[in-house]
C-alpha cells in the first residue's frame, strides 16, 4: 500500500464537504483508505489511528488530506479526484477581487450585512462554533447550528444571548429546519401549509413533515431547537421561543412539538407554556403513554378538519417472510427519534428489558458514531457493516431500518442498501427485513423509486415509522398487524 499525506495551511473547508469528499475518494477502485479533514485534535487522532503520519505543527486551521492506495497509479488517480472535488468549493467567483466584484465575505457579520439575511446556518466543528454563533447573533441573525459535540454550557450561553436579542438559536445538533419556505439541513420537499413544527429532533420533524405531505397538508415553518433543548440543563429555552414565534405567525393554525425523550420537569414547563398560547399544540414524544409520530400527525389532521389517509406502504413481490421462533429484533437507525419511537413500541410488545432477550436497537446518528465521520444519512458505510454483522448472527430474526430522504441526504440510499439487504436475506430464509422510509414523492431521491428497490430486495416498506416498528414486532410474535 502507498500512503500520501499533505497539509494545506489555512485552506478551510466545512465538515459536510470534507466528509462527502472523503467518502467519494474512499469508494474509488484501489483506494484502501482516505480522509480529508481540518487538523483538529480529534481529526488528527482519527488519522493516526488509520495509520497516517500527520506532520508536526498541524493545527485546526489547516486542511489535512490523506490517501492509502494499492499502487502508484491508483494513488495518482485518487489524488487527482480529491483535488477536483475540493476545487469547486474553493474557487473564487469569476470577477472576484480588487478589479471585479467583492471577494467572498470572511466573517458571518460581513456576510449578513451583504445578503440582508435573517438566519445563519453554521456547520463547523462543534468545539469551534461558539464564536461564529455569537458573531451571527451580534449581527442580528437567528442561528441554526448544524454542528454537534458543542459543550452544553456554550449552548446555554448562546440561547440566553439570543433571548436578550429577541432571536432564536436552532441547535446545536439541529439537522432540519424550514424557514420562509426554504428547507435547511436535512429537509424534505414538502408543500406549504398551516402546521408549524417545533422540533428537538431532526428525523422526528422529517417524519411529521412527510406524513402531513402524504395527507395533502403542508407546513408553515419547522423550527429545530436541538436534541438537548428539553434536557434539564437547557430547560427548553429555544422551544419556548419557537412556540411563541409560531403562535405569532398568522400562517400557522396548529403547532406540533416533537422531541427526543424530554426531561419530565421540562415537558411540564413546555405544556404549561403551550396552554397559554392562542394556537393549539399537539405533542409527539417518544415515551410510553404519549402519541407516537404517526398518531400525532393523525391528531393534527383531525384538529384541522382534514381526513386521515391510509399511510403508504409497499410489500415485496414474493412470499412474505416470517422470523424464526425466539429470534431477536435488530434495529439499525439513522434517526435517533425514529429509533426511540421503535423502542417504545417494541418494549410494549416484547417486554421492558429488550437486551435481556437479545433485541437491540442502535442509533448510528448518535454523537458517539459521528465523531469524525459523516452522518449515516450521508455516508451509509458504518451502518452497512453493522447490517452484515447482524444478518450473520443466527439469533437475529428481523432487521428494522430507517431510510431518510430529502435534501442533503444520500442521493440514492437504495443503491447500496438494497443489494446489502438482498444478500442478507438470500443467505437466510428465517430472516426478515422491514424498512421505515421517510420521504416524499417530490424528494430528489424519488420516494417511490426507493421503495420499489427496497421491496425488490425483499423488505417490507412503510412510510410510517410506527407502522414499520409494529410490523417488525408482529413478525417476531406471529401476531397479525
Residues 295, 321 share a domain: no
Cβ-proximal residues to 80 (8 Å cutoff; 6+ apart), any chain: none
Sign of CA dihedral 17, 20, 22, 28: negative
Residues 371, 397 share a domain: yes
Domain boundary among 269, 303, 337: 303
Residues of the domain holding 25:
2-90
Residues 325, 293 share a domain: no
Residues 279, 254 share a domain: yes
Q: Grid coordinates standing for 289? A: 403513554
Q: Grid coordinates standing for 120? A: 445563519
Question: Are residues 6 and 69 in contact, defined by beta-carbon separation less than 8 angstroms?
Answer: no
Residues 352, 253 share a domain: no
In 117-206, beta strands by DSSP E: 119-122, 142-145, 169-170, 176-179, 182-185, 192-200
Residue 96 maps to a domain: no
Question: Are residues 402 and 411 in contact, defined by beta-carbon separation less than 8 angstroms?
Answer: no
Residues 192, 171 share a domain: yes
Of the candidates 121, 98, 96, 97, the residue with the CA atom closest to the CA atom of residue 111 = 121
CATH number of residue 464's parent domain: 3.40.50.261
Residues 243, 154 share a domain: yes
Residue 364 maps to a domain: yes
Residue 202 maps to a domain: yes
Distance (Å, rounded) from C-alpha 414 to C-alpha 422?
11
pLDDT digit string, tens, across residues 362-391: 999 887 777 666 788 888 888 999 999 999
pLDDT of residue 91: 46
Whole-structure pTM value? 0.84
Residues 385, 257 share a domain: no
Distances (CA, A) of 430 to 50, 231, 324, 386, 399: 37, 41, 5, 19, 11
Residues 388, 363 share a domain: yes
Flag residues of the chain having pLDDT under 50. Answer: 90-99
pLDDT of residue 348: 93
pLDDT of residue 100: 54
- What total of structural domains would you count in the chain? 3
Place of cell 431521491: 445
Residue 99 maps to a domain: no
Q: Grid coordinates standing for 389? A: 454483522
Distance (Å, rounded) from C-alpha 327 to C-alpha 474?
12
Residues 179, 45 share a domain: no
pLDDT of residue 87: 84
Query: Strand order in 460-462's β-sheet?
Result: 313-314, 460-462, 432-438, 396-404, 328-333, 360-363
Residue 95 maps to a domain: no
Domain boundary among 261, 280, 303: 303
Distance (Å, rounded) from C-alpha 432 to C-alpha 461?
12
Amino acid at each position: 500500500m502507498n500512503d500520501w499525506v499533505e497539509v494545506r495551511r489555512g485552506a478551510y473547508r466545512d465538515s459536510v464537504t470534507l466528509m462527502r469528499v472523503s467518502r467519494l475518494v474512499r469508494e474509488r477502485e484501489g483506494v484502501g483508505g482516505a480522509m480529508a479533514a481540518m487538523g483538529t485534535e480529534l481529526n488528527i487522532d482519527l488519522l493516526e489511528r488509520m495509520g497516517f503520519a500527520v506532520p508536526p505543527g498541524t493545527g485546526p486551521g489547516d486542511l489535512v488530506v490523506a490517501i492509502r492506495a494499492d499502487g502508484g497509479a491508483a494513488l495518482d488517480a485518487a489524488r487527482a479526484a480529491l483535488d477536483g472535488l475540493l476545487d469547486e468549493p474553493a474557487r473564487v467567483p469569476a470577477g472576484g477581487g480588487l478589479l471585479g466584484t467583492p471577494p467572498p465575505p470572511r466573517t458571518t457579520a460581513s456576510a449578513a450585512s451583504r445578503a440582508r439575511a435573517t438566519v445563519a446556518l453554521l456547520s463547523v466543528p462543534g468545539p469551534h462554533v461558539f464564536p461564529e454563533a455569537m458573531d451571527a447573533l451580534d449581527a442580528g441573525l437567528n442561528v441554526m447550528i448544524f454542528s454537534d459535540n458543542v459543550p452544553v454550557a456554550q449552548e446555554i450561553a448562546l440561547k440566553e444571548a439570543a433571548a436578550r436579542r429577541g432571536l432564536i438559536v436552532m441547535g446545536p445538533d439541529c439537522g432540519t429546519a424550514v424557514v420562509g419556505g426554504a428547507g435547511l439541513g436535512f429537509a424534505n420537499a414538502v408543500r406549504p401549509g398551516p402546521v408549524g413544527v417545533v422540533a428537538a429532533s431532526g428525523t422526528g420533524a422529517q417524519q411529521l413533515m412527510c406524513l402531513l405531505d402524504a395527507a395533502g397538508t403542508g407546513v408553515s415553518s419547522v423550527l429545530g431547537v436541538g436534541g438537548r433543548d428539553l434536557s434539564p440543563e437547557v430547560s427548553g429555552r429555544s422551544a419556548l421561543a419557537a412556540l411563541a414565534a409560531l403562535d405569532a405567525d398568522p400562517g400557522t393554525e396548529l403547532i406540533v412539538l416533537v422531541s427526543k425523550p424530554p426531561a419530565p420537569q421540562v415537558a411540564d414547563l413546555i405544556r404549561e407554556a403551550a396552554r397559554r398560547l392562542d394556537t393549539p399544540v399537539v405533542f409527539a414524544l417518544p415515551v410510553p403513554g404519549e402519541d407516537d409520530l404517526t398518531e400525532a400527525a393523525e391528531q393534527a389532521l383531525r384538529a384541522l378538519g382534514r381526513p386521515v389517509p391510509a399511510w403508504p406502504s409497499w410489500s415485496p413481490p414474493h412470499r412474505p417472510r416470517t422470523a424464526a421462533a425466539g429470534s431477536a429484533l435488530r434495529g439499525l437507525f439513522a434517526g435517533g427519534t425514529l429509533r426511540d419511537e421503535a423502542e417504545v413500541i417494541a418494549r410494549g410488545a416484547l417486554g421492558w428489558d429488550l437486551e435481556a432477550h437479545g433485541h437491540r436497537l442502535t442509533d448510528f446518528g448518535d454523537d458517539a458514531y459521528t465523531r469524525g465521520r459523516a452522518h449515516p444519512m450521508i455516508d451509509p458505510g458504518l451502518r452497512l457493516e453493522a447490517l452484515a454483522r447482524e444478518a450473520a448472527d443466527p439469533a437475529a430474526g428481523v432487521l428494522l431500518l430507517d431510510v431518510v430522504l430529502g435534501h442533503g441526504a444520500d442521493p440514492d440510499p437504495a443503491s447500496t442498501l438494497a443489494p446489502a439487504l438482498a444478500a442478507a436475506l438470500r443467505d437466510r430464509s428465517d430472516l426478515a427485513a422491514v424498512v421505515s422510509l421517510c420521504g416524499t414523492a417530490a424528494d430528489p431521491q424519488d420516494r417511490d423509486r426507493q421503495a420499489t428497490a427496497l421491496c425488490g430486495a425483499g423488505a417490507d416498506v412503510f412510510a410510517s415509522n410506527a407502522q414499520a416498528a409494529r410490523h417488525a414486532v408482529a413478525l417476531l410474535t406471529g401476531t397479525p398487524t
